Amino acid sequence: MALELKSSDNKIFEVEELVAVQSETIKSLVEDGCADNVIPLPNVDSKTLELVLDWCKNHVDMKLDEEKLKEYEDKFIEVDQAVLYDLLLAANYLNIKDLLNRACQKVADMLKGKTPEQIRETLNIVNDFSPEEEEEIRKENLWAFEE
């Protein structure tokens, strides 16, 4: 059986149900009988949805071959920050656990061992602390940096 998904930019994707229900969100819609018509996914654009569906399809197809799947995942997640961000949002919204885990791990790997300032540079975060707060935070986190 095939389902029809509509991205935020109004593109329709026709997908096997088995592939689509990798998303817990879609799965519960199906179970609740709300999948007869096109399922609108207003939080996911077509570009991201295409990637996400590729992930789901491969996880159905390659379910038994762990090695191939790992290879696929490693390659899949090699994307730039903007795509990674979109994937995280989509995985969260669609509730696809393995994709969410993999994407989180990818971000974590980018941050490991970095100082707060390096993390800000990496993720383009603005430091919104006052000097007093910074001192407070330093004390608060001192424990983690002491051997």
Least distance CB 100 / another protein (angstroms): 7
115: left (phi over 0), alpha (psi -120 to 50) or beta: beta
Least distance CB 53 / another protein (angstroms): 20
Helix axes 81-94, 97-111, angle to 10 degrees: 150
φ/ψ (deg, to 5) at 23: -85, 120
Which member of 32, 64, 75, 80 binds another protein (CB under 8 A)? 80
Task: Judge contact between 46 and 9, C-beta under 8 A.
Answer: yes
Of 11 and 97, nearer to another protein (C-beta) is 97
Instruction: Fill in the per-residue mask, 95 to 134: x = in contact with another protein (CB under 8 A), - = not in contact.
Output: -----xx--xx-xx-xxxxxxx-xxx-xxxxxxxx---xx
* DSSP category for residue 51: H
Residues found near another protein in the complex (CB under 8 A): 80-82, 85, 88-89, 92, 100-101, 104-105, 107-108, 110-116, 118-120, 122-129, 133-134, 137-147
